[in-house]
Structure 1
């Protein structure tokens, strides 16, 4: 250990008055491991570390950088201190051999400027040489000049291990690429050494050209070294895969000219995995070039390209694959999912139909959980109306995306075989549809022949699972659809039944409805005393003799009365039994609907009377627009939120199974409230329709009579 370092440390310890530290330092003599801790960190001689000092002589002069970037040969010569005689390049013929001069003047340059000397060894912050810059910018003459001065620059690498040829390929300078190939072959280095260099990511020069979509540059490389297309980078990505991802048809076509080109991609994907996602033309090219790509699996999920195509739903692409490799339909991924399962999961019914018509027995494929594609449709696609109608009831011929391709197979019989199949838990597709709350899917499966009384491994039927829905709409629709078709519950003790967990839906909605109804009552009360036309001096409304004003007052009174009644019912509903609370909620919800409707009509009448005589086009528009919006709301709400009246009637009147009715009352008391609300809603909407028709008729006659009176 250095005596000076130890003495210095001992002196500091004494200054700290630390006796233990002083004693430890007295014992430190000869301890080599402590020696490294006492050495200054940037002293290579004492610390034993190899510290590379930054050599400012290799930093590219700003003037030289700008001269190279612009391609100014004269300026470059001036900064390097070169004469015209030493920089003459023989361009007469490509066959002329280049003479390499290794004079000290050519290597180091000879012109001082600023505080340094410009040389060919100067590099940018990214370790790019002058040849890197000239090649990227496409300066042909400057590239020739630099090559003559130092041909080893052809294999120089920047901080990313890229050569000048990499940068020329990235920029798409095909002229520079051809020049560098020629110069490399003329030099002692050889063209192989230049073309096979790889970047820090393992990219060849062909990777760079393809990644940036330079078709002409790719053609040059495929002419000079087509074997580069068989190389992959550190991520196992081939140039062909990059071209497919870029959707560069011309580049793909150039690469496919070499039959041994690699199609590899990340995670063992191939170029076809990428092409099937929206590239029918490239998909066709790849399948024609190498059909076996359709059977290769990726490393992520074991999926083949047809799995990807089925998930995307492009019928053209799926059809192209089936034309070349129809047996790919039978290949399953690591989860046991066939392309048919994938199409079912994504609700691509045209793709399902195409695959079933090509390979009818593919419907028998099951995943690792024992589910066929109908299970998957029921679990994931059942909320789409008429989801399986094209698949289940297809007859005759139908043209798909490609002209002239007709399907003449009625495959209903194929599906009837699997509609009763049970998965590993004993669930049929009908069980899955009930879990999903899809009344449309339930109806379609029952039409197909599904048995609604089958039980699974837990002894539950499809009707038992309709209670699993968190939404009252889905629960009600699926329950009504199953009961109307004769579904029954599984045998269970009635005191052990699971009750439908509404999670306080009525309680939450009641709080919101109270606030809304109070706001409506406040607005209606304000409107009654801030009437159109204001008041006369004795406090009487100026428009009291107008019929529209009197009707406005009536509608405003209805809105206020209905809203106040709804508030009282909702408040009372919090203090009574659960059944009474549900009844109060049902009535309040319909009263709120009445409030909204009467407020709408009151607004129309107030605006109409405020416009006075004339303005018939404006009055018509004021009457028409609110009615259109309100009518549209009624139609959408009726179609998508409430069951059809005849299904409700059948549920209430036709069902004969008393045990099923009792269990519904025990498990799902909210269902009765929902049916009451929907029934009252239908009745109210009929009344509203008649009111709207009468109102529009009255408004039309009134406008006509006023116009006749004015005439």
Structure 2
């Protein structure tokens, strides 16, 4: 530390700003520096805190005239290194100053001995990076061009992480830098974890991919430590133009499998990239039969992840009918996996095709129907039970006294929490309806009677307000009083009935608001327009709620409730007792909504 001569501030600033004449004056002593210094003049051996010399500073800032002057005075500066082992050439390359790079290399070629030239031009810093690595990493295309032209052998070097300049250039997104490096026939394309530059290029765009494949088509079949090819990467990302480019140069890469046995088609299916799946099947239809280490095809993968669009495409392709009922090593078909994952849309697509067998048992003797017991969500369970019932699915043969009631979700705790919240809502509705009876639309006359007394819309308002208050009070009693005092097995009955009363109370309150507005305005007033808006809003709300709560199609629910498969439904009721109750209440909900909408129409016509 005592032998280090730190750079004075005047010299540092002059070098940083490229003031060559001032630097020369400071070095010759004709301009005395301010501050404490050990000599009468400054020296080229002075360094910064990071041990960077004057040449490091000049090269990093791209001051070519200063670079030339410093090298004329002390050529050993060309091979000097700082604390990170960066040479001046590293500094110029990192900053992307192509002219400075050119100046340093040419000066080294003419000034440095042959045995030290490689050390100067191809020197490595503490990370094992050459100047070309740094220029490529930062995407300095012009600097890369200069380095490759003056020292093409650098393109074949890898750094301490076994990464090539080409890989870094691809990662930077600089097409110019990539073009310059691939101009060297012996350039390395190595990347981390045994990847090559093409692995990275698939995420940068088709231009980069075309450039690399045109230079070295064999990159398409290289694999990384996971045995993944560039096509695996491209298929997982889903860019069809890149996938097609790779398949054009290396169609057999579609058959390559990674360490898990997954093909590029598997990767596309797992990510739900439908267009990529279609493209891969078009180019290489034989890849549909490839199985992974679990014996699963790409359709198993799509079913497990819930990608219904891919399943729909496969079920419509006659050439792929042979894989629809294939079993993996555990005996599971894609229907087994979709049911186990609770993917209703996939199950619906598979069953509606009419090509999937619903009675196949896996190695544990379970049919798809048996796997519903693994579903944790109540609504998913109901939907799966209904749709499999409609399509004639079967349970495995077993003693009925061994059947355990579904316990995928603690719906008892949910009911207790929901009861408290719904009781608050029903109380508020009843309170609002009660107060509305004494604040009637149109107000009161001097005789204390309502001004709209005898008006049809006013009478409809009073009726609807009465229904809203009454049903709100009944819902509150059922939720708070009956729900706590009754037998545990009757709690659900009271809870379900209270929900219907609460919904009826809400509908009556909304419809009452509609009649109040309609009764106090004429046909051309703003209030009438508002009443029409309320009607449309109610209609949309009811349709949305009906769609969200419907466990499948209306036809399917009706078949489940009124179907003739009594033995199967009896078996369902033993394990899933809430399904039939849920289906019946959905139908009742629909009826109530139809009545509400009809009431709106009738009330409008009465006006």
Counterpart pick for 1:228 among 151, 154, 158? 154
Structure 1 residue 181: Cα displacement: 1.3
Aligned partners of 1:344 and 1:381 also within 8 Å: no
Is the aligned partner of 1:287 residue 2:193? no
Aligned partners of 1:278 and 1:314 also within 8 Å: no
Size of the aligned set, in residue pairs, is 596
CA distance in 1, matches of 2:163, 2:537: 56
CA distance in 1, matches of 2:388, 2:523: 58
Q: What does 1:339-358 correspond to in 2, within 5 Å?
A: 339-358=264-283
Which range is displaced more, 373-382 or 129-138?
Answer: 373-382
CA distance in 1, matches of 2:72, 2:325: 81
Q: What does 1:371-520 correspond to in 2, within 5 Å?
A: 371-382=296-307, 384=308, 386-393=309-316, 411-413=317-319, 415-446=320-351, 447-501=353-407, 502-504=409-411, 505-520=414-429
CA distance in 1, matches of 2:103, 2:378: 74
Q: What TM-score, normalized to structure 2?
A: 0.90
Is the aligned partner of 1:323 residue 2:248? yes
CA distance in 1, matches of 2:512, 2:113: 92
Which range is displaced more, 522-531 or 147-156?
Answer: 522-531
CA distance in 2, matches of 1:680, 1:424: 45
CA distance in 2, matches of 1:234, 1:540: 94
Q: 1:577 to 1:380 in 2, by over 3 A?
A: farther
Is the aligned partner of 1:580 residue 2:490? yes
Equivalent residue number for residue 65 of structure 2: 141
Is the aligned partner of 1:558 residue 2:467? yes
CA distance in 2, matches of 1:204, 1:539: 97
CA offsets 1:608-634 (integer angstroms, 9 cap, x no match): 778x67983x43553344444443333
Q: 1:223 to 1:487 in 2, by over 3 A?
A: same
Unaligned segments of structure 1, at least 5 residues? 1-52, 84-109, 394-410, 703-711
Counterpart pick for 1:599 among 500, 506, 509? 509
Structure 1 residue 471: Cα displacement: 1.7
CA distance in 2, matches of 1:205, 1:695: 83
Q: What does 1:601-680 correspond to in 2, within 5 Å?
A: 601-604=511-514, 616=525, 618-619=526-527, 622-642=530-550, 643-656=552-565, 658-680=566-588
Q: What does 1:15-164 correspond to in 2, within 5 Å?
A: 53=1, 58-82=5-29, 111=32, 113-116=34-37, 117=39, 118-164=42-88
Structure 1 residue 464: Cα displacement: 0.8
Q: 1:608 to 1:238 in 2, by over 3 A?
A: farther
Equivalent residue number for residue 240 of structure 1: 166
CA distance in 2, matches of 1:69, 1:538: 96
Equivalent residue number for residue 99 of structure 2: 175
CA distance in 1, matches of 2:554, 2:496: 17
CA distance in 2, matches of 1:222, 1:620: 79
Structure 1 residue 636: Cα displacement: 3.0
Aligned partners of 1:329 and 1:339 also within 8 Å: yes
CA RMSD across the alignment: 2.7
Tell me the secondary structure at the aligned position of residue 323 of structure 2: coil
Which range is displaced more, 355-364 or 128-137?
Answer: 355-364
CA distance in 1, matches of 2:93, 2:568: 75
Tell me the secondary structure at the aligned position of residue 48 of structure 2: coil
Aligned partners of 2:419 and 2:495 also within 8 Å: yes
CA offsets 1:630-686 (integer angstroms, 9 cap, x no match): 433333333343122211111223342x33222211100111221022111221232
CA distance in 2, matches of 1:545, 1:242: 85
Structure 1 residue 463: Cα displacement: 0.7
CA offsets 1:450-479 (integer angstroms, 9 cap, x no match): 221111122111111123212222111111
CA distance in 2, matches of 1:633, 1:189: 85
Higher relative contact order (CA 8 A, sep 6+): 2
Structure 1 residue 550: Cα displacement: 5.2
Equivalent residue number for residue 291 of structure 2: 366
Structure 1 residue 163: Cα displacement: 1.4
CA distance in 2, matches of 1:620, 1:176: 79
Larger Rg: 1
Counterpart pick for 1:525 among 434, 440, 458? 434
CA distance in 2, matches of 1:594, 1:604: 15
Tell me the secondary structure at the aligned position of residue 200 of structure 1: coil
Q: 1:434 to 1:245 in 2, by over 3 A?
A: same
Aligned partners of 2:108 and 2:121 also within 8 Å: no
CA distance in 2, matches of 1:72, 1:645: 84
Q: What TM-score, normalized to structure 1?
A: 0.78
Structure 1 residue 538: Cα displacement: 7.5
